[in-house]
Amino acid sequence: MTTYKKLTLEQIDKLQIGNLVNFGDGNVYAILRFYEGDKCRAFKDGKWTEYAEKMVEVIRCLDGKTKSFYTMVLHGATTDTLDPTIEKCAYCGNLRPKNEMKSMTIWVNGTTQNNRYCIDMPCGGYDQMAAEG
């Protein structure tokens, strides 16, 4: 199984406009711009200080939809791979290459869902059992 590390804050600070990032949801996003978000207040070193949270605007390469995130969200969600062939297991959430994933249809409330699951784990079966209750 291939695992991917999350981007560190230092790596995020080095990102440039146009860099690609993977959010682990199987989608690749391009960075459009960095900007300062709303002003916040925090109690630090015995006094209240005002600061602006750093924000990043990204565009999803698949369909062109834009989103904005705090850089702290980027820190928790992005991986160090820029490979668009990475997918997230619908059950366990592991990030894996497409060749280590399989499609499986499960029944949920009388309808079907086609999801991607780990090829070497029983994630699809567990997801079906979870859907059945």
Please report, for the chain, the start and end positions of each structural domain, with discontinuous segments joined by +. Answer: 1-84, 85-133
Query: Which amino acid type is present at position 90?
Result: A
> Does the pTM exceed 0.95?
no
Give pLDDT < 50 ranges for the chain: 1-2
Query: Which amino acid type is present at position 76?
Result: G
The pLDDT, as a whole number, for residue 113 is 87
Q: Encode pLDDT of 69-102 as tens digits.
A: 777 666 666 765 555 566 778 888 777 778 888 9
Cα dihedral: 27, 4, 94, 67 (round 10): -30
Give the pair of three-digit tokens for residue 15.
């990102």
Indicate the fold that domain 1-84 takes in CATH.
Answer: SH3 type barrels. (2.30.30)
Residue 57: beta bridge partners? 33, 68
Runs of H (alpha helix) within 5-70: 9-13
